[in-house]
Structure 1
Amino acid sequence: MKWFVFFIAFILLSVFFISCSSTKNIEALKPTPSDGTPVVYQNKTSFIGLPVEITLKDIEKQLNKNLQGLIYNDSILDDDATEMKIWKSGTIVLSEKNDEIVSEIPLKIWAKVKYGTDFLGLNDTKEIFMDGVITLSSKVNLTNWKLYTVSRLTDYKWNQSPSILVAGKVVPITYLVNPTLSLFKKSIAKQIDKAIDETCDFKPYVLNALAEVSKPFLTHYEYETWFKLIPIEIYATAAVLQNEKITMDMGLKCTMQTMVGQEPKNSFDKSKIILKPVTRIPNKAVVAIAAVSTYKSASRVVTKNFKGQEFGSGSKKVSVQNVELWEKEGKLIIALDLQGSVNGTIYLTGYPQYNTTTKEIYFDDLNYVLNTKNVLLKSANWLLQGTVLKTIQENCRYSIAENLAEGKSSFEEYLDNYSPMKGVYVNGTINDIVFEKMEITNKAIIAFIETSGEISVKIDGID
């Protein structure tokens, strides 16, 4: 975390500029860290309301992509006295009228109809051929990210006259088929509904998009900072068809965190994501982030940034060889390995605090560890002067207003037509990031920050 690196820098600079001219060796007793149990902290869950929009053109594209050639085949005659095969013969065109999807579907239909009676074998079958464009009107419902339709055949236009095969010859029967087409209406509509239901499942796209945004990503190379989003549950309202698109509200319950150090593991498991139906979702995002900086990682970053640098003037110079941080009995221990006018390690202790008015991080009750005091009394007692410690404490401040603004800017990059995958676009606005509180654990310093805003998702142009 940037602010942490900078306020450690203030401590170092304060000590270096008041170092004595002659070299002195100090050997203070190192305070032992707390036990090595894992980091445990309670992070708030975040809730993101996501109005979702799916264009009819995208559904049309998916239908034409997935419905090819033979789309229905009923080869059993005896169950309902009808065999039927249906082929899609051209491009399906979708539109919207009176809150229903209107589908114009080019089809070729072959049917074998059995008629008569089985008594004494008095029955016969006829084959019927139809080629044209049928029009369906469909009530639509999007449940569990899958499109379901209930359709009825409302119109038909023949490219070729419907015909039957008689004695090996094709005989037009338009005058017979048109009045009796009601025999096929329900069957054709039912099969088209089935084909739509099977091909318009958007759940994989939603889960794949979640999988992408759940991958930990590096937010700052120099400070080895990673961001991680962990989805928990997804909520969704009923779908509404209007203005050539299907809209619905989705809600994402998740946790968010930042980590300093190595890349965190990706814990996303799409099989564990639950989609829950709800009647209403507020159109807002409430985001709580736990920014976790382990002492090991923070020590390595601070050492890397300051090791080898010299501070001071003339003969009064010291350099930092190593910096270590850890927790002891609820306080933060800062170990500074110095070389130059003062050689050895000094230990400081205090409580990191945050000033909500000035947006500054500062140390409360900053002091030398008791054993360090005793050593400095004998070898470098000038470090014990009240003015010296006061100077350290006064300078151990760092405004994080710029960092909070930078964090907001980083968020906004993912809300400006951000596309986690082809055809999925995220837009929105976010308010200022607010620092809530800070906790010290046995393994890390955890800063809790919050923000709010509005986010929307548009599905348009998926493959």
Structure 2
Amino acid sequence: MAKLTIQSLILTLLFTVISCSTINKIDALKPEPDDATPLIYESNPSFINMPVSVKLKDIENQTNSLLNGLIYEDNNIEDDDIEMKVWKLAPITINNKTAEKGNKITTVLPLKATVKYRVGTKKMGIELYDTREFQLNGLVTLVSDVTLINWNLATKTELKSLNWNENPTMTVFGKNMPITYLINPTIKIFKSKIESKIDESISKSMDFKPNVLMALEKISAPLRMSEEYNTWLRVTPLEIYSTNARLKNDTFILEMGMKCTMETIVGQKPESKFNGSKIIVKSVSKIPENVIANIVAISNYSEASKIMTKNFIGQEFGSGSKKVKVEKVTIWHKAGKMIIALDLLGSVNGTVYLSGFPKYNNQTKEIYFEQLDYVLNTKNKLMRTANWLAESLILKKIEQNCRYSIQPNLAEGQKNMMSYLKNYSPMKGVFINGKMNDIQFKKFQLTNQAIIAFLQIGGDVKVSVNGL
């Protein structure tokens, strides 16, 4: 039994010696990440066109929804000697059929009115009044000048005509007596009140701001651009530019432009940065047609490491019996460079550390690493274990795989983005259309959390808000 134990011990030692002579173990010092710039960056803003169009039919519908039945009532005869009640008898019609030029609309209001008009005086505490009541039933035609004031479609309305459906009457001794010859001069009694009521109703129904902000909030919700690469597009509005509203045929058009930041983010779905209270509104005379989109592409190191690991799957480096496989790649930032940790398995086991500067190949759309070399501590270990791995030829082959293409991201991103530029509707009445040119790389920025690439896209993006 003792003899067997000694033989077993000798065999074990022999196996260990043989193993150590064929497989080397690297125990290199890990270059710890340092504090690079936090994930705060400055990017050039993008500009997106946002024409808002509202049909007169929408204005008509909104006005009719606000004005129903009894649309005006004044029961105080003491302030101006007038009491008045006005009813809408049928739907109001609004059109641009007027001989006058400019932003003018015509409103036809079928109404019935009861007007009490008091004539008289009060002297020495004695009231000497005569109150007459008029019954009116007809079509009031009003013409309005239209402007945009603080996101409201504002009108200045003037009563142009009043056509009677029935002869105006006055109550005398409990009976309605025709008084057509008297009533026309008294139109001024309620003229200003009808005009202001129409202006008030249109103003309430034509407040664009809530609609525009609601549309912007929907647009600002991050959109998944690629499931495979888990990329998201986030748009954050900063400023809104608008021209004055203009009437074209049966539609009011408001040219708007949005200044915003655009980001593509790799990883989990980011939060929306939308804050309606911080959006600045400015008036301009003209909105540019062609716009530039500046996109910030954020690749966190964890996601980039996963992509690079895929490059090494099934690959062997070396020749003959001296070969290694890269099982895992991990990258991070240190002293202005990227550290690439390669977990090796084969003739050499362990982790080697490479360092280099990230670069971008605009032709292949790849992020690669220039001046790639072993970290000093790693290199010393290699010299003592497997010099062949430190040879420039092996390093060159490894370097070819220490890159990752964002071409699939860009292609997939463009493809998915185009699906959002073909009459995409994030909400009722809001439509996004446009075209895109090729994506151009501008620069890199390294942080302690991610590689940030700044990209630029030319094209034309329009967000149309139709109706209310």
Same-fold call, TM cutoff 0.5: yes
Matched residue of 1:44: which SS?
coil
Name the counterpart of 1:370: 376
Structure whose alpha-carbon radius of gyration is higher: 2
Matched residue of 1:35: which SS?
coil
Name the counterpart of 1:415: 421
Conservation of the 8 A alpha-carbon contact between 2:218 and 2:426: yes
Note closer, same or farther for the CA distance 1:174–1:380 as it changes in structure 2 (3 Å cut).
Answer: farther
Name the counterpart of 1:70: 70
Name the counterpart of 2:13: none
Q: Deviations over 1:120-169 (max 9, x none)?
A: 32212223232332211110012222110001112333334333333333
- Normalised to the residue count of structure 1, the TM-score between the two structures is 0.86
Name the counterpart of 1:109: 113
Give 2:420's aligned amino acid. Y
Note closer, same or farther for the CA distance 1:165–1:317 as it changes in structure 2 (3 Å cut).
Answer: farther
Aligned length: 440
Give 1:142's aligned amino acid. L
Matched residue of 2:255: which SS?
strand
Conservation of the 8 A alpha-carbon contact between 2:137 and 2:164: yes
- State the distance in 1 between where 2:430 and 2:399 align: 50
Deviation of 1:336 (Å): 2.1
Deviation of 1:451 (Å): 1.3
- State the distance in 1 between where 2:245 and 2:435 align: 24
- State the distance in 1 between where 2:127 and 2:302 align: 90
Deviation of 1:346 (Å): 1.6
Q: Which of 431, 436, 441 lines up with 1:435 in the alignment?
A: 441
Higher deviation after alignment, 145-154 or 425-434: 425-434
Note closer, same or farther for the CA distance 1:191–1:28 as it changes in structure 2 (3 Å cut).
Answer: same
For the aligned residue pairs, the C-alpha RMSD in angstroms reads: 2.8
- Normalised to the residue count of structure 2, the TM-score between the two structures is 0.85
Name the counterpart of 2:12: none
Q: Is there any run of 5+ residues in structure 1 with no aligned partner, and where? A: 1-20
Name the counterpart of 2:7: none
Note closer, same or farther for the CA distance 1:73–1:433 as it changes in structure 2 (3 Å cut).
Answer: farther
What does 1:44-83 correspond to in 2, within 5 Å?
44-83=44-83
Matched residue of 2:438: which SS?
coil
- State the distance in 2 between where 1:77 and 1:351 align: 85
Q: Deviations over 1:409-440 (max 9, x none)?
A: 33322222122221122222222221111222
Deviation of 1:441 (Å): 2.1
- State the distance in 2 between where 1:46 and 1:141 align: 28
Give 1:323's aligned amino acid. V
Conservation of the 8 A alpha-carbon contact between 2:300 and 2:451: yes
Conservation of the 8 A alpha-carbon contact between 1:39 and 1:443: yes
Matched residue of 1:351: which SS?
strand
Conservation of the 8 A alpha-carbon contact between 1:161 and 1:174: yes
Q: Percent identity?
A: 49
Conservation of the 8 A alpha-carbon contact between 2:240 and 2:257: yes
Name the counterpart of 1:449: 455
Name the counterpart of 1:174: 180
Name the counterpart of 1:393: 399
Conservation of the 8 A alpha-carbon contact between 2:229 and 2:409: no
- State the distance in 1 between where 2:461 and 2:163 align: 45
2:84 matched to 1:84?
A: yes
Deviation of 1:231 (Å): 1.0
Name the counterpart of 1:35: 35
Higher deviation after alignment, 240-249 or 357-366: 357-366
Q: Which of 218, 223, 240 lines up with 1:234 in the alignment?
A: 240
Name the counterpart of 1:258: 264
Name the counterpart of 1:208: 214
Note closer, same or farther for the CA distance 1:316–1:216 as it changes in structure 2 (3 Å cut).
Answer: farther
Conservation of the 8 A alpha-carbon contact between 1:407 and 1:433: no
- State the distance in 1 between where 2:406 and 2:265 align: 18
- State the distance in 1 between where 2:236 and 2:54 align: 25
- State the distance in 2 between where 1:172 and 1:318 align: 109
Q: Deviations over 1:79-127 (max 9, x none)?
A: 2222223333322222113331111222232322212223432212223
- State the distance in 1 between where 2:300 and 2:404 align: 20
Name the counterpart of 1:132: 138
